[in-house]
Chains A and B, each alone.
Chain A
Amino acid sequence: MTTTTQALRAPSIKVNGADTAIGDVPVHTTVLDWLRDRGLTGAKEGCAEGECGACSVLVARPGTDAPTDWTAVNACLLPIGSLDGQEVITSEGLGSPEALHPVQEELAVRGGSQCGYCTPGFVCSMAAEFYRSTRTTSNGHCDHEHGPNGFDLHSLSGNLCRCTGYRPIRDAAYALGDPSADDALATRRYAPPPAPATTRMTKGEAEFVRPPGLADVLQLMADRPDARIVAGSTDLGVEVNLRGLRPPLVVAIDRLAELREFEFGRDEVRIGAALTLSEIERMLAGRVPLLAQMFPQFASRLIRNGATIGGNLGTGSPIGDTPPALLALDASLVLASHRGERVEPLADYFTGYRQTLKADDELIKTVVLPLPLAPLSAFHKIAKRRFDDISSVAVGYAVDVVDGVVREARIGLGGVAATPLRARATEETLIGQPWTERTVREAAAVMAAEGTPMDDHRASSSYRSAMLGQSLLRFHAEEVPA
């Protein structure tokens, strides 16, 4: 087996402060396996699909409110080459048994660990929230998901613990203060994040590359139809780990500036496809209420820290959570290839089960939301578990009621057909009618017949249908316009 590393510099990662050569490893090696092979066995494999968080580590990423954010990610999903030139902190790097990090200290003394297997992952997720630059310990606002110290419990939504029942973990999180003045990781936030490296790793027949610009990527896509594009790797990582997928060429695009545009303008919002759900959530800061409702329900914080909006649309899943929301928001997509760019409405984008308008050599560059937004909106997600679950049914609403009459209604559905779709028949039933319970009851009956829901382990088809109708009733009951 011959190996060539054709970059100018050998790929390396700063791990717990020490520059560490990635070395001669298969390009599909996950960050988790790579760390463990180097003796850093704190991070564990619990599920290998980004559901349990036992593998969570901290990565220095471009920040939204400070130059750098310590971002918690699932190490089991990331190919090792994707962190070339980056900085990683593991539970071992945060503290030692003799000198615990504040997060470790609180978890330890409060009984936050029992078997301890999930604990290093919790430590990293909690540390990310500890270092969140917008967390304020002084405002005192506190509810069932937010501590008095500004700690957002959703930061732990991607970490499973089978032993404790979570109460001591929550209490540990809520007991955290501010990072101390001499905390090196806190200080690190105010320096720029590591620049994306231009990476090329080869081992055997397989290659991992991170081209420097969008043009390079588009050319590569034209030349190599077998190229697999990866951003957060929350999908690809699962296929690699659980289904043995070994693409010959993986092309990383998540740090391309051309794909990371964000603009909240007068007539539209432009969102770069390679922005993560977490970044968009912070950049929008509640300005699109429908999306603000969706974000906490979209997978977990760990996944949102990796998953991009372009990836969620690109994968073409019938149950991805952004499509129903974006359909309701009347979004359109900018598709780019070496041949140029085109703009297509999202409503036309999904053509069949995991089929889209996007050509093999195209990628999603930008998601565009028209403004102004409809005044009434909501996102409903039906799932077994309240958070971090895959939808049985997801519904996005954007409705405009003028003088008590429905002027406009867009309803996006997920999980009830081979593709996400607009509830056209329901919309037509509503438009022009008085926004009353009677209208809504009629429309709910229509909505319950939308799509062709199926039976599976998540839900029965009859429950899915019932949930469509019930969702509209709930939307009306909760949205009484002023």
Chain B
Amino acid sequence: MSSLSERPPVAVVGVPMPHESAALHVTGHALYTDDLVQRTRDVLHAYPVQSPHTHARVTALRVKPAYDVPGVVRVLTAEDVPGVNDAGVKHDEPLFPSEVMFHGHAICWVLAETLEAARLGAAAVEVEYEPLESLVTVREAIAAGSFQGTGRHLERGDAEGALAAAAHVFEGEFEFAGQEHFYLETHAALAHVDEGGQIFVQSSTQHPSETQEIVAHVLGLASHAVTVQCLRMGGGFGGKEMQPHGFAAIAALGSTLTGRPVRLRLNRTQDVTMSGKRHGFHSGWKAGFDDEGHLVALDATLTADGGWSLDLSEPVLARAMCHIDNAYWIPNVRVDGQIAKTNKTSQTAFRGFGGPQGMLVVEDILGRCAPLLGYDAMELRHRNLYKPGDSTPYGQPVRHADRLEACWSQVSAGGDVVRRKAEIERFNATHPHKKRALAMTPVKFGISFNLTAFNQAGALVHVYKDGSVLINHGGTEMGQGLHTKMLQVAATTLGVPLARVRLAPTRTDKVPNTSATAASSGADLNGAAIKNACEQIRERLEQVASGRLGISPHDVRISDGVIRGLSDGEDLRWEDVVNAAYHQRVQLWAAGFYRTEGLHWDANAMRGEPFKYFAYGVAAAELEVDGFSGAYTLRQVDIVHDVGDSLSPLIDLGQIEGGFVQGTGWLTLEDLRWDESNGPNRGRLATQAASTYKLPSFSEMPEVFNVRLLEKAHEDGAVYGSKAVGEPPLMLAFSVREALRQAAAAFGPAGTSVELASPATPEAVYWALDRARSSVLTASGV
């Protein structure tokens, strides 16, 4: 195992370098799926007919008027599907539905010579509906008993008994919103039937293998008849793990029926109204503390708002339940989880995958209870942190729990937290209309897919006769820098300069049966597979070189393109040894494979060790809230985050900063508003454009933003000692939400406990501070 994590003395991994496509990005030369359209002849454009109802039966569908629109070539409907009319893996997502399940649901698709003609054709299609009762909110679904999938139960110790015996018991409810991915590149696919009769689909997908499978089953073909390629994505964040499949299938179906390339690219409104988002949750909870502020028991019910179909809601719920402890030791835990079925988009993976939702519940509890317990929230959190030897509620030892304390103390010291807290108190005492606060929150996040089978990866590495190297792996590039890291891994393992290695686009005919690039696992899994392939080739070359050098293969070293023995002697050039190997008929390419060892998980009992390791981090956020409006400015953020021994420090820094800001957006700004009224637009998403759904812009960036990687953080058992980084930093943004809570509380008397809506928009913060301001403290604790 340790050979996987051990680094050679000279390594390309660990060197800070920009994204491998940076020069292409900045010059506009990096190609995305839809950029290929103008390089393709005779492309047809696809446009959906979207339902104006939230729940309805389709009683009539007349497509003929569309054919009267000049330029319309074909209307795709359920009758056209030769295989299975389904876009998901759970077989609950008809590609062409006869029952509309959410506002904006696509009924059928129009193909035309121009996008304009397709749009007009879609407008001409006549659909008759019989409207049905709809459930829009998670509360409505709970009241109606509308659930889907399998509910789960997680238990350790005796929560009921511990709550009965606890010195302080609090209970509450907390409902919080989901999040739109808002990757800048909307869903896109471009399909054609190639010269060999194979369906070739370019897709903006995090999961090419599954896109391939869905396209194949819709077309009634075997998987080997379909190839899916993803050049790169303009952002994914989980939104392109399951959701691209149906769009790719529409393009592929249209292409097989017309014999022409078909392009499907959603505009922003279509993307936002049709594709799934982060799950909003409802939670009911009861928490018990002892007199020293230790959490002794937690009893919670989590209800994920799954939307209209199951999608990934079950594993999202499982991850939420497995992260309700966040970084805190809670001896007695009972968590029930269930998935509501509502008439909304089918909620799906989003960076953190349920983890953030589970963790938000416990952070909300601590933030609300701290003043009632008479504790500073920072102190309350600190004293509940996991310690070495602790284990999670599902029974996994919390290995490296000491890193939590290390991150905590480094943030505290590096951010000069004690001095700044005192300064904030002075500021608040003299500023009636502005209040500042500083909050520190930890992150512990489990790395691996909860579904054990997904924890495998493949790679294909070619060394050509001239010594150049081409690598291919099953992971996709969505901006997270995976390809950059993979190039570094290959160069390190082979012992060649980075410039020798080139990476080819992700395609299902190169590496089959891949897992989604998700769960932060891309570098761990694919890196290990690439390393495995490179090691096979390197060992063969060491054999060849040992003959030329007259030494044992064990004593051959390859570094920076030079091959030599352990002791002084002749230097061989990489390309000469490669060439010699070719002439000796030595195989110069290899398929690599990796499976994560040591995982086991009983999904029914919710027990086991589902995670290879935990990623840790701590953030301190200081902000200032305006008492007149609830608006805030983020003054300073200090982060120490554990990425193991970084494969690529500049990339990892970018993931931490970007994840933090995206998390801050989820918690404080991004506001999904469905029409919950009984009016004609019930169920319609009101925030379906960039003008109404606001992402963080540069004004939400912290004014001072200090991010450091935890040092001496080698992760034994992961590729070159590194750790996953994609998702964990998102949850560092809890510090912002908790600081907002504390700043709102500062408008009231000491000991004020603040309930804060999520997202904590300026309006939500205003109401929170207004309540604090006008409250006279009545009770402290129960």
Contact = CB atoms under 8 A, between A and B. Distances in A.
26 contacts: A43-B28, A47-B690, A47-B691, A48-B268, A51-B690, A96-B27, A112-B26, A113-B19, A113-B22, A115-B184, A115-B478, A115-B479, A118-B184, A123-B28, A162-B182, A162-B235, A166-B696, A241-B267, A242-B267, A242-B689, A385-B696, A385-B700, A456-B686, A457-B687, A463-B767, A473-B628
Interface of A is mostly: loop
A415 to B, nearest CB: 13
Given A120-B26, A473-B628, 6 more contacts: A91-B27, A96-B29, A157-B697, A164-B654, A384-B669, A390-B692
B556 to A, nearest CB: 36
A386 B653 contact: no
Contact of B233 (A108, A115, A242): A115
A411 to B, nearest CB: 16
Contacts of B689: 47, 49, 51, 242
Contacts of A44: 32, 184-185, 234
A47 B268 contact: yes
B621 to A, nearest CB: 13
B612 to A, nearest CB: 25
A111 B19 CA distance: 7
Contacts of A119: 25-26, 30
Interface stretch (B167-175, B576-584, B658-666): B658-666
A151 B480 CA distance: 28
Interface string A375-393: 0000000111111111010
Contacts of B268: 46-49
A286 to B, nearest CB: 21
Contact of B690 (A46, A104, A110, A163): A46
Given A52-B690, A144-B703, A460-B763, A163 B27 contact: no
Interface string A135-148: 00000000010000
B183 A97 contact: no
Given A114-B479, A165-B662, A470-B629, A384 B28 contact: no
A111 B651 contact: yes
B52 interface: no
B29 to A, nearest CB: 6
Contacts of B29: 42, 92, 96-97
Contacts of A118: 184, 234
A386 B23 contact: no
B680 to A, nearest CB: 15
Interface string B748-763: 0000000000000111
A474 interface: yes
A220 interface: no
Contacts of A265: none
A477 interface: yes
Interface stretch (A33-41, A308-316, A360-368, A446-454): A33-41
A95 B22 CA distance: 13
Interface of A: 26, 36-49, 51-52, 54, 90-92, 94-97, 100, 103-105, 107-120, 123, 144, 153, 156-157, 159-170, 238, 241-242, 244, 382-390, 392, 456-460, 463, 466-467, 470-471, 473-474, 477
A166 B631 contact: no
Given A117-B185, A117-B234, A382-B762, A160 B701 contact: no
Nearest to B677: A455
B754 to A, nearest CB: 17
B645 to A, nearest CB: 19
Contacts, number: 257
Contact of A111 (B27, B182, B650, B673): B650
A440 B762 CA distance: 23
10 closest pairs, A vs B, by CB? Answer: A42-B28, A115-B479, A117-B234, A116-B25, A51-B690, A165-B661, A91-B28, A114-B479, A104-B26, A47-B690
Given A92-B27, A389-B694, A115 B234 contact: yes
Given A470-B628, A473-B628, A92 B23 contact: no
Contact of B28 (A40, A45, A392): A40
A390 B690 CA distance: 11
A389 B478 CA distance: 27
B641 interface: no
Contacts of B182: 162
B116 interface: yes
Given A108-B22, A163-B479, A457-B686, A116 B658 contact: no
B116 A26 contact: yes
Contacts of A473: 628
B140 interface: no
- Interface size band for B: 35 or more
A166 B703 CA distance: 11
Contacts of A54: 184
A471 B695 contact: no
A97 B27 contact: yes
B22 A117 contact: no
Contact of A123 (B26, B35, B123): B26
Contacts of A114: 19, 479-481, 654, 658
Nearest to B19: A113
Contact of B654 (A168, A241, A459): A168
B38 interface: yes
Contact of A474 (B433, B478, B694): B433
B398 to A, nearest CB: 28
Contacts of A383: 762
B699 interface: yes
Contacts of B234: 44, 115-118
Nearest to A300: B697
A466 B23 CA distance: 50
B705 interface: yes
B766 A463 contact: yes
Given A49-B689, A49-B690, A385 B697 contact: yes
Contacts of B701: 165-167, 170
B650 A108 contact: no
B3 interface: no
Contact of B18 (A97, A111, A160): A111
Contacts of A94: 27
B698 A166 contact: yes
B650 to A, nearest CB: 5
A388 B690 CA distance: 11
B770 to A, nearest CB: 8
Interface string B441-461: 000000000000000000000
A242 B269 contact: yes
Contacts of A91: 26-28
B695 A160 contact: yes
A162 B269 contact: no
A386 B633 contact: yes
A74 to B, nearest CB: 11
A161 B658 CA distance: 9
Contacts of B762: 382-384
Contacts of A477: 433, 628
A466 B26 CA distance: 45
